[in-house]
Structure 1
Amino acid sequence: MTRIEISRTLAADRERVWRAFTEPNEFVSWFWPPRFQSTAELDARVGGSWRLVSEVAGMGLSGVFAAVDEPERLVFTWRWDGEDEETLVTVTLTPAAGGTVLTVVHERFADDAEADSHLQGWSDCLDRLTDLQRTV
């Protein structure tokens, strides 16, 4: 099994960053590029499901929340539409001077190529979140 870990320090408090991951309108504002015209459904409770879709890009992904410890930690499964592989994501929010340290651990990849692809994807997503941190 392969895993990736990526962190960013954001100039926003944990509660605000938490909402960026748990409120559909906020989530779609940064996760994929705006040109994807994404839509999301998020039921951020243990056993609740989540789904992100871009008809424009022809892709979607979904999962189930395994842990919801507001505003510190989210754990959820991750499955791309049309794929059998299910991976696991853990998002941790730690208070820091002037903001929050956001750490994403994504694990259970079948191989290094999949992990590398997701590392690039998460980097792009989190860069957009950093860009939006003044409004997130």
Structure 2
Amino acid sequence: MHEFKIDVTLDASLPFVFAAFHEPEYLSQWFAPGDCMVTQVMIDFKSGGRYRIKMMYPSGIEMSLTGEYVLILANEQLSFSWAWEDNMEESVMTSVDVHFEETEENQVRLVLLQQGFMNKKECDQHHFAWMSCLEKLAVLSKKKKTFS
């Protein structure tokens, strides 16, 4: 099994960064890599609740991500399952664990671990995609801070 870990610091408040991982208005602005965009967010944000996020590339190709929230500790930790509905990958389901920590006022350390990949190629693709998404989240965080 393959996994990756990302450890970044965002210039934002802890409540905003945590909300950005489950509030549709924020997710729709950052939760798609590169020039892909979020077209639909459906979330039942509670332990055992399910989510479905639909994304579309400029070419019109759509993909849908689905999973279940396993653990929710407000402003501390978020764990959820992750599966693509297209069944194009060897890995049927992976897990994502995100830890949130305020290191200074308006500075949040985010540690994300995704594991359960069947091969290195899929693992690397997801790592790259998360980095792209987190760059968008960093930009959104700065905008949010400016307008707060």
Question: Do these two structures clear the TM 0.5 threshold for a shared fold by scoring above it?
Answer: yes
TM range (shorter): over 0.9
Structure 2, unpaired ranges of 5+: none
The structure-2 alpha-carbon separation of the partners of 1:118 and 1:14, relative to structure 1 and needing over 3 Å to count, comes to same
Matched-pair identity in %: 27
In structure 2, the residue corresponding to 1:135 is in which secondary structure? helix
Single out whichever of 5-14 and 117-126 deviates more from structure 2. Answer: 5-14
Q: In structure 2, which of residues 95, 104, 108 is the aligned counterpart of residue 88 of structure 1?
A: 95
**Mean Cα deviation higher: 53-62 or 74-83:** 53-62
Alpha-carbon distance in structure 2 between the residues aligned to 1:124 and 1:30? 9
* Cα pair 1:36 1:57 within 8 Å, conserved: no
- 1:59-102 Cα shifts (integer Å, max 9, x gaps): 11010000001011000000011226100000110111241001
| Aligned residue identity for 1:76 | F
If the length of structure 2 is used for normalisation, what is the TM-score?
Answer: 0.85
Instruction: Find the aligned partners of 1:69 and 1:42 in 2 and give their Cα distance.
Output: 16
Shift of 1:34: 6.6
The alignment yields a C-alpha RMSD, in angstroms, of 1.6
Following TM superposition, by how much is the alpha carbon of 1:45 offset from its aligned partner in structure 2, in angstroms?
0.8
The letter for the 1-side match of 2:47 is V
Map of 1:60 onto structure 2 = 64
Match of 1:3 in 2: 3
Q: Which structure has the greater CA radius of gyration? A: 2
Equivalent position of 1:122 in the other structure: 130
Between stretches 54-63 and 12-21, larger displacement belongs to: 54-63
Q: TM-score, normalised by structure 1?
A: 0.92
- Counterpart of 1:47 in 2: which secondary structure? coil
Counterpart contact for 1:89–1:107, Cα < 8 Å = yes
Describe the superposition over 1:97-119 as per-residue Cα deviations: whole angstroms up to 9, x where unpaired. 24100111000000111111111
Match in the other structure for 1:48 = 49
Residue 72 of structure 1 aligns to which amino acid in structure 2? E
Greater CA drift, 116-125 or 6-15? 6-15
Provide the C-alpha distance between the structure 1 equivalents of 2:101 and 2:61, rounded to a whole number of angstroms: 33
Cα separation, 1, equivalents of 2:61 and 2:26 = 19
Q: Is the 8 A contact 2:38 2:53 kept in 1?
A: no
Structure 1: which 5+ runs fail to align?
Answer: none
Maintained 8 Å contact 1:2/1:107:
yes
After superposition, the C-alpha distances for 1:2-31 in whole angstroms (9 at most, x for unaligned) are 110012211112111011001111111111
**Secondary structure of the structure 2 residue equivalent to 1:28:** helix
Moved over 6 A (4+): none
| Pair 1:70–1:87, CA change in 2 (3 A) | same
Deviation at 1:35, TM superposition (A): 5.5
Residue of structure 2 equivalent to 1:110: 118
